[in-house]
Amino acid sequence: MSARAPRAPEPNLDIDSPPSAEPVADAAEEGEDEALLFVSSEEEGEVAPGPLASGRAAIAQAARHAPNGPGVYRMLAADGTVLYVGKAKSIKKRVLSYTRPVGHTNRIARMIAATGSMEFVSTRTEPEALLLEANLIKQLKPRFNVLLRDDKSFPYIVISGDHPAPQITKHRGARNRPGDYYGPFASVWAVDRTINALQRAFLLRSCSDSYYENRSRPCLLFQIKRCSGPCTGEIAAPDYAELVREARAFLSGRSRTVKEHLAREMEEASEALEFERAARLRDRLAALSAVQGSQGINPRSVEEADVFACHQQGGATCIEVFFFRTGQNWGNRAYYPRADRSLTEAEVMGAFLSQFYEDKPCPRLVLLSHEVEEQELIAEALSERSGYRVELSVPKRGEKKDLVDHALQNAREALGRQLAESATQARLLAGVAEAFGLKAPPRRIEVYDNSHIMGTNAVGGMIVAGPEGFIKTQYRKFNIKSADLTPGDDYGMMREVLRRRFARLLKEAPRAAGAQSASESGTDAMPTPDVDTEADAAPAASPWPDLVLIDGGLGQLNAARAIAEELGVTDVPLVGIAKGMDREAGRELFHIPGRQPFRMEPRDPVLYFIQRLRDEAHRFAIGSHRARRKKDISEAGLQAIPGVGPARKRALLRHFGTLKAIERASLADLERVEGINASTALAIYGYFHERPSQ
């Protein structure tokens, strides 16, 4: 089988061995079955001229030490960068297939030409190799593999099991809290919508345990009939337990039973002339119908399944995933994996599947729009990981086929929107290049902003944008550490942030002599993101920015220039964005070294684009500042607020119950607390609500 899509790693393996390392064959920590072999291409023997011949020679040399059994192999460039991760039933046979002089696709030929050495990991079985391959691909992100780029965890609904009055809430991450988890849902929005409807239907509390314990009267949710008020005894414990039982039954797929039970109770209440109770039951039934009605397709014959549909267009790929649990549609999400344009939809789908479930629970049924290679092997690997039989199926008729067709239609529409957005983004980046005098559209823009209150909890924020929009995995925050900074010194903070950023870049990704940023390279137009070119097979995008935007005027820009010159970084364009008169949006003044300050036309789309970048940096910096300030308050207590000592702290907590309630209190509410005068109330209110400096 030809080398293709990626799959799995093991975190305890030493994957960073330099290419000059000596060959080793050490048993893995877990036993003798898995071993890492490193083979350098810099061994004896002459290499024929030409990069392709050189790569084949390196692979042939490595094949002499390759295991005969199943396992995972890694192809490395001369500098040690991982180019490709693959698995094979026989590593030696697979590796030797790359040494053939002809018969390779352009993608495989490029990969072979770039190879300088190889590494091998033996496994006991081929399914084990498949799982390891998926893990390694996600960890190493080799440029010749299909890469799953959006890898956020999915949200769940949890009904807690560690409290007499269980709470219903959303959850994401490790399942450390006792309780029943229902999901996955495609988005937080889908979870919030479902929880709101379930609160109306089952009147379960959503407040935190600390808030619950400090209530002396029912909260607003009780008043608007979204909670039964167990905190103050508005409902008896056995009755609340019955509501929890019904909610669990509904989320477990027994929705018809629950609705029939509520309908019977409503009829009985109506016949007994208990019209208020009958009305409450009617409202709960309506809420349950709203939950199911808002979920679109709700299959009758599919209790639990994930549906995958793949569509390609313009060199790009979209995989739409629908989640069905307990016979209900719990949302969908579109993915745009990075893949060579020579790969077919089935090949991308096969590589995507093994990565997708690497850290997610898998249902017993997975429906696909395309037959994939090694479908049975993938199913066997997923079954081994899940502990139960997993079936992969491509339905040909019936309701399951309708579900796949619906997902495929969504994939087509989502990819069309993505391509349109990518084209728009490319035009905007071209406009940025024209506005700021760059020679090519920037592929990486970094925007910096600071946030603090009178110098306290100072945080610098960096956001990153590129041809595909905001790259949130590249965002960074900088806790300002300099002890000699004058509180509120924005210029000093900007100097510290940029010094730390560029010093680290110089250390981790030193630029070759004479290296130029994309903006100065004179490259012709940047390829639009929806078109796959040989650049897609190039190494991961450079961490160096092609443009740096500073949220601030000439002072902040000069501070940034001073640091750049101090570190010898003179080829990265810097632009300062000063707010207009009265901070009016649309009147921003742009400062560029060597040019007179200028403004853009108020309705220029490029101006709106830059405003979005600036506002996102502002949002990120303020959010980081608030998180740090909140942490400091929780650790230092209310006594960190000037004028609040132990006595006033106790008075505030007695009156409001929790720190969150104090934070939300109005100025008038604070003044009503015994022992809190007007000036102290103003200090407390200002501490929680003052707008951070920018």
Q: What DSSP line would sit under 560-582, residue for residue?
A: HHHHHHHHT--SS-EEEEE--GG
| Helical segments of 220-293, H only | 220-223, 237-251, 255-271, 275-293
Cα gap 240→550, rounded to integer Å: 55
pLDDT digits (tens, 9 = 90+) for 144-201: 888 876 656 778 889 998 888 999 988 887 778 888 888 777 777 778 877 887 887 7
Averaged over 493-514, what is the pLDDT?
81
Q: Are residues 165 and 120 in the same domain?
A: no
Q: Are residues 382 and 286 in the same domain?
A: no
Residue 421 belongs to some domain of the structure? no
Looking at residue 670, which CATH number applies to its domain? 1.10.150.20
- The token pair that represents 74 in the structure block: 């890694």
- The token pair that represents 506 in the structure block: 């110089």
Residue 565 belongs to some domain of the structure? yes
Q: Which residue has the higher pLDDT, 270 or 459?
A: 459
What confidence score (pLDDT) does residue 223 get?
A: 85
Cα gap 103→357, rounded to integer Å: 33
What confidence score (pLDDT) does residue 146 get?
A: 86
What confidence score (pLDDT) does residue 25 get?
A: 32
Residue 446: which pLDDT band, with cuts at 50, 70 and 90?
very high
Residue 149 belongs to some domain of the structure? no
Q: Are residues 482 and 617 in the same domain?
A: yes
Cα gap 629→688, rounded to integer Å: 9
Kind of pairing between the strands at 469-470 and 589-591 = unpaired
Q: Are residues 573 and 613 in the same domain?
A: yes
Q: Examine residue 361 and say whether the peptide bond preceding it is cis (omega within 30 degrees of 0).
A: no
Dihedral in degrees, nearest 10, Cα atoms 152, 620, 192, 237 = 100
Q: Which residue has the higher pLDDT, 544 or 688?
A: 544
Residue 410's contacts (CB-CB under 8 Å, 6 or more residues apart) are 309, 320, 322, 332, 334
Looking at residue 349, which CATH number applies to its domain? 3.30.420
Q: Are residues 272 and 310 in the same domain?
A: no
Residue 463: which pLDDT band, with cuts at 50, 70 and 90?
very high
Cα gap 244→236, rounded to integer Å: 13
What confidence score (pLDDT) does residue 37 get?
A: 37
Averaged over 449-459, what is the pLDDT?
76
CA angle 355, 361, 362 (to 5 degrees): 75
DSSP state of 536: G
pLDDT digits (tens, 9 = 90+) for 46-80: 333 457 888 888 898 888 888 888 999 999 998 88
DSSP string for residues in 457-469: EEEEEEEEEETTE
Flag the least confident range among 136-140, 342-346, 376-380, 625-629.
Answer: 625-629
Which residues span the domain enclosing 392? Answer: 305-416
Residue 429 belongs to some domain of the structure? no
What confidence score (pLDDT) does residue 688 get?
A: 72
Averaged over 464-493, what is the pLDDT?
83
Phi, psi angle pair for 322, to nearest 5°: -110, 140
Q: Which of helix, strand or coil describes residue 259?
A: helix
Contact 39, 121 (CB under 8 A): no
Task: Write down the pTM of the prediction.
Answer: 0.62
Residue 146 belongs to some domain of the structure? no
Q: Where are the beta strands (DSSP E) in 70-151?
A: 71-76, 82-88, 117-122
Q: Are residues 644 and 614 in the same domain?
A: no
Q: Are residues 160 and 230 in the same domain?
A: yes
- Write the CA distances from 386 to 69, 173, 362, 389, 415, integer angstroms: 25, 18, 7, 8, 31
Q: Which of helix, strand or coil describes residue 273?
A: coil
Q: How many domains does the chain have?
A: 5
DSSP string for residues in 105-173: -HHHHHHHHH--EEEEEE-SSHHHHHHHHHHHHHHH--TTS-B----PPPPEEEEESSSSS-BEEEE-S
Residue 509 belongs to some domain of the structure? yes
Residue 386: which pLDDT band, with cuts at 50, 70 and 90?
confident
From the list 132, 130, 133, 147, the residue with the least C-alpha distance to 379 is 130
From the list 487, 485, 659, 502, the residue with the least C-alpha distance to 567 is 502
Q: Are residues 285 and 330 in the same domain?
A: no
Residue 591: which pLDDT band, with cuts at 50, 70 and 90?
very high
pLDDT digits (tens, 9 = 90+) for 417-444: 888 888 888 899 999 999 999 989 999 9
Residue 245's contacts (CB-CB under 8 Å, 6 or more residues apart) are none
Cα gap 169→468, rounded to integer Å: 33
Task: List, in sequence order, every residue forming a beta bridge with 577; answer none if it has no partner.
Answer: 551, 590
> Element (H or E) spanning 557, and its range?
helix 554-567
Instruction: Say what percent of the chain tops pLDDT 70.
Output: 80
- pLDDT higher than 80, residue 3: no
Q: Which of 111, 140, 169 is the last residue of a domain?
A: 140
Residue 566 belongs to some domain of the structure? yes
Dihedral in degrees, nearest 10, Cα atoms 281, 282, 284, 286 = 170
Averaged over 251-275, what is the pLDDT?
74
Residue 14 belongs to some domain of the structure? no
Dihedral in degrees, nearest 10, Cα atoms 544, 548, 554, 560 = -20
Q: Are residues 474 and 566 in the same domain?
A: yes
DSSP state of 205: B
- Write the CA distances from 607 to 131, 205, 604, 612, integer angstroms: 47, 46, 5, 9
> Mean pLDDT of all residues in the chain?
78
Q: Which of helix, strand or coil describes residue 181?
A: strand
Averaged over 608-622, what is the pLDDT?
89
Cα gap 80→90, rounded to integer Å: 24
Contact 354, 135 (CB under 8 A): no
Q: Are residues 408 and 452 in the same domain?
A: no
Q: Are residues 447 and 587 in the same domain?
A: yes
| Secondary structure of 49-75 as H, E, C letters | CCHHHHHHHHHHHHHCCCCCCCEEEEE
Cα gap 518→524, rounded to integer Å: 10
- Write the CA distances from 91 to 68, 97, 170, 295, 662, integer angstroms: 6, 10, 44, 46, 63
Averaged over 666-693, what is the pLDDT?
77
Looking at residue 513, which CATH number applies to its domain? 3.30.420.340
Q: Which of 73, 107, 140 is the last residue of a domain?
A: 140
Q: Which of 256, 273, 293 is the last residue of a domain?
A: 293
Q: Are residues 275 and 162 in the same domain?
A: yes
Averaged over 82-111, what is the pLDDT?
88
